Amino acid sequence: MSGLREEARAWLAEALSGPFADLKGVADFTTAPPRRREWEQALGAAGLSCIGWPKAYGGRGASIAEQVAFAEEYALAKAPSRVGHIGVELAGPTIIAFGTDEQKARFLPDIAAGRALWAQGYSEPNAGSDLANVRTRARLENGRWVIDGQKIWTSLGMYSDWAFVVTRVEEGSKGPKGLAYLLVPLDQPGITVRPIRQMTGEAEFAELFFDGAVTDADNIVGAPGQGWAIAMATLGFERGVSTVVQQMHFANELDLLIATAKANGKARDPLIRQRIADAWTGLEIMKHGLIRTLSDESTEQLGEEALTSKLYWSRWHRALGDLAMDVQGLAGEIGHADEYRFDQLTHMHLASRADTIYAGASQIQRNIIAERGLGLPREPRGDL
Protein backbone atom coordinates (compact mmCIF):
# COMPACT_ATOMS: atom_id res chain seq x y z
CA MET A 1 0.00 0.00 0.00
CA SER A 2 1.43 3.35 -1.03
CA GLY A 3 2.32 5.99 1.53
CA LEU A 4 -0.35 8.31 0.15
CA ARG A 5 -3.00 5.59 0.41
CA GLU A 6 -2.07 4.95 4.05
CA GLU A 7 -2.05 8.67 4.82
CA ALA A 8 -5.42 9.23 3.19
CA ARG A 9 -7.01 6.21 4.86
CA ALA A 10 -5.83 7.30 8.31
CA TRP A 11 -6.86 10.93 7.87
CA LEU A 12 -10.29 10.09 6.46
CA ALA A 13 -10.98 7.59 9.25
CA GLU A 14 -10.10 10.12 11.93
CA ALA A 15 -11.97 13.01 10.30
CA LEU A 16 -15.14 11.04 9.56
CA SER A 17 -15.31 9.50 13.02
CA GLY A 18 -14.51 12.78 14.72
CA PRO A 19 -15.11 16.40 13.66
CA PHE A 20 -16.89 15.50 10.40
CA ALA A 21 -18.83 12.43 11.48
CA ASP A 22 -22.05 14.20 10.45
CA LEU A 23 -20.88 14.24 6.82
CA LYS A 24 -20.05 10.55 6.49
CA GLY A 25 -22.13 8.96 3.76
CA VAL A 26 -23.60 12.25 2.53
CA ALA A 27 -23.90 11.65 -1.20
CA ASP A 28 -25.78 14.75 -2.36
CA PHE A 29 -24.21 18.17 -2.80
CA THR A 30 -26.75 20.32 -0.97
CA THR A 31 -26.74 19.03 2.62
CA ALA A 32 -25.21 21.43 5.16
CA PRO A 33 -23.45 23.90 2.80
CA PRO A 34 -21.39 25.61 5.55
CA ARG A 35 -20.10 22.27 6.79
CA ARG A 36 -19.17 21.26 3.26
CA ARG A 37 -16.99 24.34 2.96
CA GLU A 38 -15.33 23.40 6.23
CA TRP A 39 -14.69 19.92 4.83
CA GLU A 40 -13.05 21.34 1.70
CA GLN A 41 -10.85 23.55 3.84
CA ALA A 42 -9.90 20.60 6.05
CA LEU A 43 -8.88 18.62 2.98
CA GLY A 44 -6.81 21.58 1.84
CA ALA A 45 -5.07 21.93 5.19
CA ALA A 46 -4.24 18.21 5.10
CA GLY A 47 -2.78 18.49 1.61
CA LEU A 48 -5.43 16.15 0.22
CA SER A 49 -7.55 18.55 -1.82
CA CYS A 50 -5.84 18.51 -5.22
CA ILE A 51 -3.14 15.87 -5.01
CA GLY A 52 -2.74 15.60 -8.79
CA TRP A 53 -1.81 19.26 -9.23
CA PRO A 54 1.89 20.16 -9.49
CA LYS A 55 3.52 20.94 -6.17
CA ALA A 56 4.22 24.50 -7.32
CA TYR A 57 0.48 25.20 -7.33
CA GLY A 58 -0.48 23.59 -4.04
CA GLY A 59 -0.77 19.98 -5.17
CA ARG A 60 1.43 16.97 -4.53
CA GLY A 61 2.33 15.97 -8.05
CA ALA A 62 0.73 12.60 -7.41
CA SER A 63 0.99 9.95 -10.09
CA ILE A 64 -2.08 8.50 -11.77
CA ALA A 65 -1.78 5.38 -9.59
CA GLU A 66 -1.64 7.52 -6.44
CA GLN A 67 -4.64 9.56 -7.53
CA VAL A 68 -6.59 6.37 -8.18
CA ALA A 69 -5.57 5.05 -4.75
CA PHE A 70 -6.77 8.24 -3.07
CA ALA A 71 -10.06 8.16 -4.97
CA GLU A 72 -10.62 4.57 -3.86
CA GLU A 73 -9.93 5.37 -0.22
CA TYR A 74 -12.16 8.44 -0.37
CA ALA A 75 -15.11 6.43 -1.64
CA LEU A 76 -14.48 3.45 0.65
CA ALA A 77 -14.48 5.81 3.64
CA LYS A 78 -17.90 7.10 2.48
CA ALA A 79 -16.56 10.64 2.53
CA PRO A 80 -19.05 13.32 1.38
CA SER A 81 -19.40 14.32 -2.26
CA ARG A 82 -17.05 17.22 -2.85
CA VAL A 83 -18.59 20.63 -3.39
CA GLY A 84 -15.15 21.86 -4.44
CA HIS A 85 -14.79 19.39 -7.29
CA ILE A 86 -15.47 21.88 -10.10
CA GLY A 87 -12.66 24.10 -8.91
CA VAL A 88 -10.26 21.25 -8.19
CA GLU A 89 -10.97 19.14 -11.27
CA LEU A 90 -11.99 21.69 -13.92
CA ALA A 91 -11.18 25.33 -13.16
CA GLY A 92 -7.83 24.64 -11.51
CA PRO A 93 -6.38 22.34 -14.21
CA THR A 94 -7.60 24.75 -16.91
CA ILE A 95 -5.89 27.71 -15.25
CA ILE A 96 -2.73 25.63 -14.76
CA ALA A 97 -2.70 24.66 -18.45
CA PHE A 98 -3.77 27.94 -20.06
CA GLY A 99 -3.74 30.70 -17.44
CA THR A 100 -1.21 33.49 -17.00
CA ASP A 101 1.25 33.53 -14.09
CA GLU A 102 -0.88 36.23 -12.48
CA GLN A 103 -4.03 34.12 -12.79
CA LYS A 104 -2.29 31.11 -11.31
CA ALA A 105 -1.04 33.15 -8.35
CA ARG A 106 -4.46 34.71 -7.79
CA PHE A 107 -6.84 31.77 -8.15
CA LEU A 108 -5.04 28.50 -7.50
CA PRO A 109 -4.16 28.96 -3.79
CA ASP A 110 -7.80 29.61 -2.84
CA ILE A 111 -9.00 26.57 -4.79
CA ALA A 112 -6.35 24.32 -3.25
CA ALA A 113 -7.13 25.56 0.25
CA GLY A 114 -10.90 25.16 -0.16
CA ARG A 115 -11.51 28.87 0.33
CA ALA A 116 -13.18 29.42 -3.07
CA LEU A 117 -15.87 27.28 -4.70
CA TRP A 118 -16.37 27.37 -8.46
CA ALA A 119 -19.23 26.82 -10.90
CA GLN A 120 -19.29 26.03 -14.62
CA GLY A 121 -21.05 28.59 -16.82
CA TYR A 122 -21.61 26.59 -20.01
CA SER A 123 -25.22 25.55 -20.67
CA GLU A 124 -27.92 28.02 -21.69
CA PRO A 125 -31.66 27.59 -22.36
CA ASN A 126 -30.93 27.17 -26.09
CA ALA A 127 -27.42 25.80 -25.77
CA GLY A 128 -27.26 22.66 -23.66
CA SER A 129 -25.35 19.92 -25.42
CA ASP A 130 -24.87 22.37 -28.30
CA LEU A 131 -22.39 24.56 -26.44
CA ALA A 132 -21.33 26.35 -29.64
CA ASN A 133 -24.77 27.99 -29.73
CA VAL A 134 -24.22 30.16 -26.64
CA ARG A 135 -25.75 33.64 -26.75
CA THR A 136 -24.40 35.19 -23.56
CA ARG A 137 -22.30 38.17 -24.65
CA ALA A 138 -19.46 40.19 -23.19
CA ARG A 139 -17.88 43.46 -24.27
CA LEU A 140 -14.84 45.36 -23.04
CA GLU A 141 -15.60 48.69 -21.36
CA ASN A 142 -13.17 50.72 -19.28
CA GLY A 143 -10.88 47.82 -18.49
CA ARG A 144 -13.65 45.36 -17.62
CA TRP A 145 -15.73 42.75 -19.39
CA VAL A 146 -19.43 43.58 -19.19
CA ILE A 147 -21.60 40.45 -19.46
CA ASP A 148 -25.26 40.03 -20.41
CA GLY A 149 -27.09 36.74 -20.79
CA GLN A 150 -28.17 33.62 -18.97
CA LYS A 151 -26.71 30.29 -17.93
CA ILE A 152 -28.72 27.30 -16.72
CA TRP A 153 -28.12 23.96 -15.01
CA THR A 154 -25.19 25.52 -13.19
CA SER A 155 -24.09 22.94 -10.63
CA LEU A 156 -23.80 24.46 -7.12
CA GLY A 157 -24.21 27.94 -8.59
CA MET A 158 -25.95 29.17 -5.44
CA TYR A 159 -22.98 28.20 -3.25
CA SER A 160 -20.10 29.19 -5.53
CA ASP A 161 -17.84 32.22 -5.37
CA TRP A 162 -16.62 32.19 -8.99
CA ALA A 163 -17.65 30.74 -12.33
CA PHE A 164 -15.79 30.15 -15.58
CA VAL A 165 -18.15 31.43 -18.25
CA VAL A 166 -18.13 30.76 -21.99
CA THR A 167 -19.44 33.88 -23.69
CA ARG A 168 -19.56 35.42 -27.15
CA VAL A 169 -17.22 38.39 -27.56
CA GLU A 170 -17.07 38.91 -31.33
CA GLU A 171 -20.10 40.61 -32.84
CA GLY A 172 -21.76 38.55 -35.55
CA SER A 173 -19.81 35.40 -34.75
CA LYS A 174 -21.51 32.01 -34.86
CA GLY A 175 -20.78 28.52 -33.66
CA PRO A 176 -17.43 27.89 -31.95
CA LYS A 177 -15.87 31.07 -33.33
CA GLY A 178 -15.76 34.35 -31.41
CA LEU A 179 -16.03 32.88 -27.90
CA ALA A 180 -14.11 33.74 -24.76
CA TYR A 181 -13.49 31.90 -21.47
CA LEU A 182 -13.99 34.37 -18.63
CA LEU A 183 -13.46 34.01 -14.87
CA VAL A 184 -16.34 35.83 -13.19
CA PRO A 185 -17.02 36.63 -9.50
CA LEU A 186 -20.61 35.68 -8.64
CA ASP A 187 -21.15 37.92 -5.61
CA GLN A 188 -22.00 41.17 -7.41
CA PRO A 189 -25.11 43.24 -8.22
CA GLY A 190 -25.10 42.28 -11.92
CA ILE A 191 -25.76 38.59 -11.23
CA THR A 192 -28.98 36.95 -10.06
CA VAL A 193 -28.81 33.32 -8.92
CA ARG A 194 -32.02 31.29 -8.96
CA PRO A 195 -31.93 27.70 -7.61
CA ILE A 196 -33.69 24.97 -9.64
CA ARG A 197 -35.52 22.36 -7.57
CA GLN A 198 -35.19 18.84 -8.97
CA MET A 199 -37.60 15.94 -8.67
CA THR A 200 -35.26 14.47 -6.06
CA GLY A 201 -36.31 17.33 -3.78
CA GLU A 202 -32.99 19.13 -3.66
CA ALA A 203 -31.72 22.13 -5.59
CA GLU A 204 -28.27 21.19 -6.86
CA PHE A 205 -28.48 23.41 -9.94
CA ALA A 206 -29.16 27.09 -10.50
CA GLU A 207 -29.87 29.60 -13.22
CA LEU A 208 -27.45 32.51 -13.50
CA PHE A 209 -28.72 35.79 -14.97
CA PHE A 210 -26.08 38.31 -16.10
CA ASP A 211 -27.33 41.88 -16.38
CA GLY A 212 -24.30 44.10 -16.79
CA ALA A 213 -22.17 41.81 -14.63
CA VAL A 214 -18.47 42.61 -14.74
CA THR A 215 -15.09 41.01 -14.40
CA ASP A 216 -11.62 42.49 -14.87
CA ALA A 217 -10.22 42.57 -18.39
CA ASP A 218 -7.37 40.24 -17.42
CA ASN A 219 -9.79 37.59 -16.11
CA ILE A 220 -9.85 35.93 -19.51
CA VAL A 221 -8.16 32.57 -20.01
CA GLY A 222 -6.42 32.60 -23.37
CA ALA A 223 -7.37 35.25 -25.90
CA PRO A 224 -10.73 36.38 -27.32
CA GLY A 225 -11.80 33.79 -29.86
CA GLN A 226 -10.05 30.91 -28.06
CA GLY A 227 -12.94 30.18 -25.71
CA TRP A 228 -14.13 27.11 -27.58
CA ALA A 229 -10.75 25.37 -27.55
CA ILE A 230 -10.24 26.06 -23.86
CA ALA A 231 -13.77 24.96 -22.99
CA MET A 232 -13.17 21.66 -24.78
CA ALA A 233 -9.90 21.22 -22.88
CA THR A 234 -11.80 21.71 -19.63
CA LEU A 235 -14.18 18.90 -20.59
CA GLY A 236 -11.14 16.71 -21.20
CA PHE A 237 -10.07 17.18 -17.59
CA GLU A 238 -13.59 16.17 -16.53
CA ARG A 239 -13.13 12.74 -18.10
CA GLY A 240 -9.86 11.99 -16.30
CA VAL A 241 -9.01 10.65 -12.86
CA SER A 242 -12.06 12.32 -11.30
CA THR A 243 -14.20 9.56 -12.78
CA VAL A 244 -12.55 7.07 -10.40
CA VAL A 245 -14.48 8.62 -7.49
CA GLN A 246 -17.66 8.39 -9.54
CA GLN A 247 -17.11 4.70 -10.20
CA MET A 248 -16.43 4.01 -6.53
CA HIS A 249 -19.71 5.70 -5.64
CA PHE A 250 -21.37 3.48 -8.24
CA ALA A 251 -19.84 0.49 -6.45
CA ASN A 252 -21.25 1.71 -3.12
CA GLU A 253 -24.70 2.04 -4.72
CA LEU A 254 -24.50 -1.47 -6.13
CA ASP A 255 -23.44 -2.83 -2.72
CA LEU A 256 -26.45 -1.14 -1.11
CA LEU A 257 -28.74 -2.51 -3.81
CA ILE A 258 -27.43 -6.05 -3.24
CA ALA A 259 -27.85 -5.73 0.53
CA THR A 260 -31.44 -4.54 0.01
CA ALA A 261 -32.19 -7.45 -2.32
CA LYS A 262 -30.86 -9.92 0.25
CA ALA A 263 -32.82 -8.29 3.08
CA ASN A 264 -36.20 -8.20 1.34
CA GLY A 265 -35.90 -11.53 -0.47
CA LYS A 266 -35.65 -10.15 -4.00
CA ALA A 267 -32.23 -11.79 -4.32
CA ARG A 268 -34.04 -15.12 -4.67
CA ASP A 269 -35.65 -13.94 -7.92
CA PRO A 270 -33.50 -15.40 -10.75
CA LEU A 271 -34.22 -12.45 -13.05
CA ILE A 272 -33.16 -9.97 -10.38
CA ARG A 273 -30.03 -12.02 -9.70
CA GLN A 274 -29.16 -11.97 -13.40
CA ARG A 275 -29.63 -8.20 -13.61
CA ILE A 276 -27.44 -7.71 -10.54
CA ALA A 277 -24.76 -9.88 -12.16
CA ASP A 278 -25.03 -7.81 -15.35
CA ALA A 279 -24.65 -4.61 -13.31
CA TRP A 280 -21.54 -5.96 -11.58
CA THR A 281 -20.07 -7.00 -14.94
CA GLY A 282 -20.73 -3.55 -16.37
CA LEU A 283 -19.01 -1.91 -13.42
CA GLU A 284 -15.95 -4.12 -13.91
CA ILE A 285 -15.86 -3.18 -17.60
CA MET A 286 -15.91 0.50 -16.62
CA LYS A 287 -13.13 -0.01 -14.09
CA HIS A 288 -10.79 -1.74 -16.54
CA GLY A 289 -11.66 0.73 -19.28
CA LEU A 290 -10.71 3.62 -17.01
CA ILE A 291 -7.41 2.00 -16.04
CA ARG A 292 -6.59 1.54 -19.74
CA THR A 293 -7.53 5.16 -20.46
CA LEU A 294 -5.30 6.50 -17.69
CA SER A 295 -2.40 4.08 -18.10
CA ASP A 296 -0.22 6.36 -20.26
CA GLU A 297 1.32 8.85 -17.84
CA SER A 298 3.60 10.23 -20.54
CA THR A 299 0.80 12.48 -21.80
CA GLU A 300 -1.93 14.57 -20.22
CA GLN A 301 -4.16 14.02 -23.25
CA LEU A 302 -6.73 11.23 -22.93
CA GLY A 303 -6.87 8.71 -25.76
CA GLU A 304 -9.78 8.36 -28.15
CA GLU A 305 -11.15 5.47 -26.09
CA ALA A 306 -12.12 8.02 -23.43
CA LEU A 307 -14.78 9.35 -25.81
CA THR A 308 -16.90 6.27 -25.13
CA SER A 309 -16.92 6.48 -21.32
CA LYS A 310 -19.77 8.99 -20.86
CA LEU A 311 -22.07 7.10 -23.20
CA TYR A 312 -21.33 3.82 -21.44
CA TRP A 313 -21.58 4.84 -17.78
CA SER A 314 -24.67 7.00 -18.24
CA ARG A 315 -26.62 4.13 -19.79
CA TRP A 316 -25.31 1.71 -17.16
CA HIS A 317 -26.28 4.00 -14.28
CA ARG A 318 -29.79 4.55 -15.61
CA ALA A 319 -30.24 0.79 -15.82
CA LEU A 320 -28.99 0.50 -12.23
CA GLY A 321 -31.62 3.05 -11.21
CA ASP A 322 -34.33 0.96 -12.84
CA LEU A 323 -33.03 -2.13 -11.07
CA ALA A 324 -33.03 -0.28 -7.74
CA MET A 325 -36.74 0.42 -8.05
CA ASP A 326 -37.53 -3.18 -9.00
CA VAL A 327 -35.54 -4.44 -6.01
CA GLN A 328 -37.31 -2.10 -3.59
CA GLY A 329 -40.82 -2.57 -4.96
CA LEU A 330 -43.54 -0.37 -3.49
CA ALA A 331 -41.28 0.58 -0.57
CA GLY A 332 -39.14 2.59 -2.96
CA GLU A 333 -42.05 4.85 -3.87
CA ILE A 334 -42.60 6.14 -0.34
CA GLY A 335 -40.85 9.42 0.41
CA HIS A 336 -40.51 11.53 3.53
CA ALA A 337 -43.20 14.16 3.11
CA ASP A 338 -41.76 16.51 5.72
CA GLU A 339 -38.45 16.82 3.83
CA TYR A 340 -39.60 15.86 0.33
CA ARG A 341 -36.85 13.28 0.16
CA PHE A 342 -36.59 9.60 -0.72
CA ASP A 343 -34.17 6.96 0.46
CA GLN A 344 -30.78 6.60 -1.19
CA LEU A 345 -31.71 4.04 -3.86
CA THR A 346 -34.84 5.91 -4.96
CA HIS A 347 -32.87 9.15 -4.99
CA MET A 348 -30.28 7.45 -7.19
CA HIS A 349 -32.99 6.26 -9.56
CA LEU A 350 -34.48 9.75 -9.93
CA ALA A 351 -31.10 11.46 -10.33
CA SER A 352 -29.94 8.91 -12.91
CA ARG A 353 -32.73 9.96 -15.29
CA ALA A 354 -30.57 12.93 -16.26
CA ASP A 355 -27.35 10.97 -16.75
CA THR A 356 -27.87 10.55 -20.50
CA ILE A 357 -28.56 14.29 -20.90
CA TYR A 358 -26.12 16.37 -18.85
CA ALA A 359 -22.44 16.77 -19.79
CA GLY A 360 -23.41 16.03 -23.38
CA ALA A 361 -26.53 14.09 -24.33
CA SER A 362 -26.10 10.54 -25.65
CA GLN A 363 -26.91 11.70 -29.19
CA ILE A 364 -24.11 14.27 -28.98
CA GLN A 365 -21.75 11.67 -27.52
CA ARG A 366 -22.38 9.37 -30.49
CA ASN A 367 -21.58 12.21 -32.89
CA ILE A 368 -18.35 12.92 -31.00
CA ILE A 369 -17.33 9.26 -31.16
CA ALA A 370 -18.11 9.12 -34.89
CA GLU A 371 -16.36 12.35 -35.86
CA ARG A 372 -13.43 12.60 -33.43
CA GLY A 373 -12.85 8.96 -32.62
CA LEU A 374 -13.62 7.24 -35.92
CA GLY A 375 -12.93 10.15 -38.27
CA LEU A 376 -16.28 9.88 -40.02
CA PRO A 377 -17.43 12.89 -42.05
CA ARG A 378 -20.32 15.05 -40.95
CA GLU A 379 -23.60 14.21 -42.65
CA PRO A 380 -24.44 17.12 -44.98
CA ARG A 381 -27.81 18.69 -44.31
CA GLY A 382 -29.97 18.68 -47.40
CA ASP A 383 -33.22 20.54 -48.01
CA LEU A 384 -36.13 19.14 -46.03
From 210, 228, 231, select the one nearest 139 (Cα to Cα). 210
| Contacts of 286-291 spanning 24+ positions with Cβ under 8 A | 286/247, 286/250, 286/312, 286/313, 286/316, 287/247, 290/243, 290/244, 290/247, 291/68
Burial category of 30 from C-beta neighbours within 10 Å (exposed 0-12, middle 13-18, buried 19 and up): buried
d(CA 342, CA 340): 7
Q: Residue 370 — φ and ψ, nearest 5°?
A: -65, -45
Catalytic site residues?
Answer: 238
d(CA 245, CA 260): 23
Q: Residue 212 — φ and ψ, nearest 5°?
A: 75, 25
d(CA 78, CA 60): 23
Give the type of residue at 12.
Answer: L
